Each structure stands twice: as C-alpha cells, then as structure tokens.
Amino acid sequence: MPEVRFGFFHWSGLGMKLENGLAEPVKDIPRQSAAIYRIETGLKKEFSDPEGAAALARLRAAGISAAKDVRVCRIYAVRGPFSLSHIQIAAREIFSDGVTQEHRVNATQPLESKGAGRWRVEVWPDPETQDSLEDGVARAFSALNLPRPLSVRRGAVYRIEARAARPHIESAARLWLCGPLERISIWEGA
C-alpha cells in the first residue's frame, strides 16, 4: 500500500493508524476495496462566521491576545467504493450549501491562502467514539444513486490568524477547541 501522508488518520474503523506522521494500514482489520476522501466545507469569505467569532473569543480568553480571526469549517472523511465524480457530487449536494459555503475534495490545504501567522487546527473525534452522522449520510447517498459509504467521520477545522508560538496555540486549542474525546492536529502556515 502506498504511503498516505495525512496528519489525521488514527481510526481503527478506517483500517489506518498514525505512526510518525504516516497513515499505515492496520493488518488485523479486514479491508474492503475503498478509497478515503476528505471533504472540507466552510463559509464563503463574504459571510460572517459566528462559530469562528466564538472560537476567537475563547482563544483570547485563553491568553492568545494576538488572535485576529478564526474561521471554522467542517471536514469529513468518507470511505467507500467511490469515483472522484461521486465524491464531487456528494460534496456539492450533501455536505455543503452552494449559496453560503464553498467546498474542496481531498483538501490538505485550508480553503484560503497560506501565510505567516496562520494556524490550522483539525479536531477529530476519538477513534472509539461513535459518529451518528453515518446513517443519514448513507440515506442521502442512496437518494442520489451513489454507492453507500462504508464509513463517514466528521471533524472541525479552525483556521486561526494569530502571531503566536506553537506551544501557546496548542495549549489553547487543547483547552478551548476540543473536548476530552477528541484529538487535534496543528499545522503552522496553513
């Protein structure tokens, strides 16, 4: 199996584990032939982001006074026997609202440009946590005559604009942006 360099896989349900930054197959889990796609959806720039404003206030309360802006978007990891066109349809019709949101498939970069003082914090549920999203998504895929997903995971991405040291961002993110049953990954300049 080729190397998959995403910093977010750590789900036994997807047959992947994270070791040294590489997602590797877990040998003892039966695997079906399926691809894993990432779909990232977020509000377009012209729309205010109330969830981002709340996260900004939490970060400032945690001592990150240099935080200027936070934008929040959803990220989904969908595993199944899909073609890229299937996932593009699902991203447009199921996971995003074309009027207020933009989406990207297999996004490893945030929806806006990179730059100094920008942080990307991905928050994913613990691998053992059950996600109630799967049944509804499976029905929506069926309604569009798309193959049924084998698994769907939902996370959040916080795109933070702040000139701050990594330990400060990491500490504030662990304290204010994720819960006890969630895991985070942080990238600078993303």
pLDDT at 140: 94
Distance CA 107, CA 41 (A): 10
- pTM listed for this prediction: 0.76
> How much is the average pLDDT of 81-99?
92
pLDDT in tens, 33-89: 688 899 999 999 999 999 999 999 999 998 888 899 999 999 999 999 988 999 999
Handedness of CA 94, 122, 33, 15 (dihedral sign): negative
Superfamily of domain 12-188: Phosphoribosylformylglycinamidine synthase subunit PurS (3.30.1280.10)
Going from N- to C-terminal start, the domains of the chain cover 12-188
Q: Are 190 and 169 in contact (CB under 8 A)?
A: no
Q: Quote the radius of gyration of the chain (alpha carbons, Å).
A: 17
pLDDT in tens, 119-162: 999 999 887 777 778 888 999 999 999 999 998 999 999 999 99
